[in-house]
Structures are given as C-alpha cells and as structure tokens.
Amino acid sequence: MAIEQVGIVGAGQMGNGIAHVFAVAGYDVLLTDVSEDALTKAVALIDRNLTRQVTRDMISDADKVAAMKRITTTPKLTNLGSADLIIEAATERETIKQAIFEDLIPHIKPDTILTSNTSSISITRLASRTDRPEKFMGFHFMNPVPIMQLVELIRGIATDQDTFAACEQVVERLGKTSTASEDFPAFIVNRILMPMINEAIYTLYEGVGSVQSIDTSLKLGANHPMGPLELADFIGLDTCLAIMNVLHDGLADTKYRPCPLLTKYVEAGWLGRKSKRGFYDYRGDVPVPTR
C-alpha cells in the first residue's frame, strides 16, 4: 500500500522527533496527544529544531516551511482514522499502549498499518490485542530522532512480509537505516545498551568509582561519545528501569536485575535531564554529579 499520511500518538520527546522527520520527508503528519499543551510545545520544538537544521545548511528555508505545513495536531485520537500508518509513541507502559490501540481500531481503515515505538515491550503481545496482528510491528526510533540514523524494525510472530517491506521502504524514504530484530525483550540496541548502563550504575553503587570517573573512563577508555550515566540521564532513568524490568521479567536471568540505586533514583523522582536531577544535577549552568 502507498503510505502518505502518518498518524503519531504521543507528542513527547520521541513523538515530536518522529513527526519532525516524517514531515521533512514529505509525509502528511497528524500528531495527537491527550494534552493540548504537549501538542503546542511539540510544534514549537519542531519549529526550533528545523530552524537549527536550516542554520546548519541541512535543509533550506523552503524545506522548513513545507515541513511545518505538513504537520497537523489534534487532541482526539479518533481523528487518526484516515492515516495509512500509525506510530504509537506514548509512555512505556503496556496497559496504556493496549488501550490506545483498542480505542483506535474502530476508527481506522482495514489496511492501516499499526506500529509501536516501544523500546522493549513484546510486539507479538501488543499485536494480539488488535484486529490486525499481521499488519502490526515494532517501529523503534532512536533518541534524538532527527539526529540518530537507526530504526529497529521488529516483526511480531504474525507480522506479514508486505507490512515489513512497507515499513522498510518508509525508513528508506526518511533517509535512515533499518535493522531487523526478532521479538525478544528489548530487541537489539537496548538488549546490549541497558545492561551496560545498569552495570555502570552498579559500579557507582558499589563505590568502585564516582559519577565523573565512570563517565570519563568510558568516554576516554572506550571512545564512547557520552558516559553511561550521562546517557542514562539523557534517556530517562524511569525508561532505563522499565527496560531493565522487561529484560529481567522476560528472560528470567539475574544478570538483568536492575541496580537498587537506579530504583532509588526513580523513586525519588530524579529521572535525569527531564526532571533536572539524576546522576547529574542540571539546575545550574553546568551539570554537577549528584554522587
């Protein structure tokens, strides 16, 4: 099927980035969120990020104007009924995602492809709660979406080849690279990345090194662009914990047990950059380690 109109559920960090890249690639984008304030902020952020791309000669002024015209927002989920492809980018809670798809199904076209940007939840399980498991798959963008080049495509057990091929073509039109992952907890990137971050938190928890020494060691000793604790703050400590719990529950291996210190930070509401405190305190001009 020809995909021209894309519906995106969720106007947060991932949703606004996904809307951005689809609009630049020439797709008509309908962005929805339960919060009208979130929609307003998302459009303003997309505008700023497009301006930044113009100043860096990545796109032209005309490209920016055209992209902004392609983005429409709505607080009503059911208004996504005309979309050819829907990407759910809501919070990483399975019950919320299931409720979104159940609410959408009566209003969408028979051939609409449903996808989730989930970073860890079973695609097969999400698909089983819909009327079209063969037209359902994982469409996992990396953060920040306009910059990161990878998209993980995850087949559920029932996903058909036509659906996979259609999503593969979409990724190509976006100018990004796709990798195919089987539907196992956390897929490829987070299956490898999150245990590394969790181990860095254990290293801090056990007093092996400070926040600064751990991040400096990985940046200079392993040539990582960001230290693991800095990266955890960027991702969101609540998201890191949720993915580690999915790995631990889904694979039943103690090596995926979330570090107690990660749990404590989340319980304190210190979620990283988005809450201004995590392994670093971001309330001043320069981030300061909190341990």
User: pLDDT-based confidence at 2, cuts 50/70/90?
Assistant: confident
What average pLDDT score do residues 27-51 get?
Answer: 97
Report the candidate in 272, 251, 247 with the shortest Cα–Cα distance to residue 259.
247
Beta bridge partners of 87: 8, 115
Confidence of residue 92 (pLDDT cuts 50, 70, 90): confident
H/E stretch holding 262 reads: helix 260-267
Question: Which whole number is the average pLDDT over 17-45?
Answer: 97
pTM: 0.90
The predicted-structure confidence for 225-244, as pLDDT tens digits, reads as follows: 999 999 999 999 999 999 99
CA distances from 72 to 10, 142, 245 (A): 13, 23, 35
* Residue 211, strand partner residues: none
Q: Render 5-32 in DSSP notation, one character per residue.
A: EEEEE--SHHHHHHHHHHHHTT-EEEEE
Mean pLDDT within 50-77: 97
* Cis peptide bond prior to 146, omega within 30° of 0: no
Q: Tell me the C-alpha distance between 74 and 32, whole Å.
A: 5
Mean of all residue pLDDT scores within the chain: 96
Residue 93 banded pLDDT, cuts 50, 70, 90: confident
Rounded to 5 degrees, φ, ψ at 42 are -65, -45
Could you tell me what percentage of the chain is helix, strand and coil, using 3-state DSSP and rounding each to the nearest 5?
50, 15, 35
What residues are labeled active site? 119, 140, 152, 190
